[in-house]
């Protein structure tokens, strides 16, 4: 497998046989440094047990994450493909992107579980989990706020919330 071509990098999770491992680094296109799963990325690397000849799988939620990321940007009035312009802020205008990380993660988890639940019976544990993340996404969306630098001076001068519908008087 060509890890570089597949975009596998630090932070990914791979399974070797039935065991999940965290990718610490991609050394070459065919070599990864992995660790047993850690509670936090700053914890020490946990050396895995030696193995050979087992199948390796790389799974990603990148498509779901991209959908939710674009959705969140649109909620704050930013079109994902458009660069920042003097009269219209772009994604680079967000001065606190970390404030949107939780809402994006919860939205992606909702999409992942909804897709996994689709072939199952309504009321299954997967449907319950999808609904749980849908509700958590909605709750976090009400709390999240993006700070924007709309005039390009590097200082945030606008706050946009993901839960507000703006009315314009004509």
pTM confidence score: 0.73
Greatest alpha-carbon pair distance for the chain in Å reads 69
Residue 124: φ, ψ to 5°:
-70, 170
SS3 content of the chain, % helix, strand, coil (to 5): 35, 20, 45
pLDDT for 48 equals: 93
Q: Could you give the angle at which helices 62-75 and 101-117 cross, rounded to 10 degrees?
A: 130
pLDDT for 52 equals: 86
Distance CA 170, CA 162 (A): 24
CA torsion angle 126 144 23 27 (round to 10): 140
Domain extents for the chain? 3-58, 62-161
Phi-psi region of 17 (alpha: psi -120 to 50; beta: other; left: phi over 0): left
Q: pLDDT 10s digit of each residue in the chain, 170 long?
A: 899 998 899 888 999 998 999 999 999 999 999 999 998 888 999 999 888 889 999 888 888 999 999 999 999 989 888 776 667 788 999 999 999 999 999 999 999 999 999 999 999 999 999 999 999 999 999 999 999 998 888 899 999 999 766 666 77
Distance CA 71, CA 141 (A): 11
């Amino acid at each position: 497998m060509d890890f570089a071509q597949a975009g596998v990098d630090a932070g990914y999770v791979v399974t070797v046989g039935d065991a999940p491992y965290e990718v610490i680094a991609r050394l070459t296109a065919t070599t990864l440094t992995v660790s047993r799963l850690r509670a936090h990325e700053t914890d020490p690397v946990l050396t895995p047990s030696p193995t050979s000849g087992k199948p390796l799988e790389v799974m990603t939620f990148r498509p779901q994450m991209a959908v939710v990321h674009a959705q969140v940007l649109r909620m704050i009035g930013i079109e994902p493909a458009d660069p920042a312009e003097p009269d219209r802020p772009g994604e680079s205008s967000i001065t606190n992107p970390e404030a949107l990380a939780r809402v994006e993660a919860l939205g992606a988890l909702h999409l992942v579980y909804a897709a996994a639940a689709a072939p199952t019976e309504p009321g299954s544990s997967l449907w319950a989990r999808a609904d749980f993340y849908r509700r958590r996404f909605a709750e976090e969306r009400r709390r999240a706020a993006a700070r924007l630098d709309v005039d390009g001076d590097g200082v945030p001068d606008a706050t946009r919330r993901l839960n507000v519908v703006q009315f314009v008087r004509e």
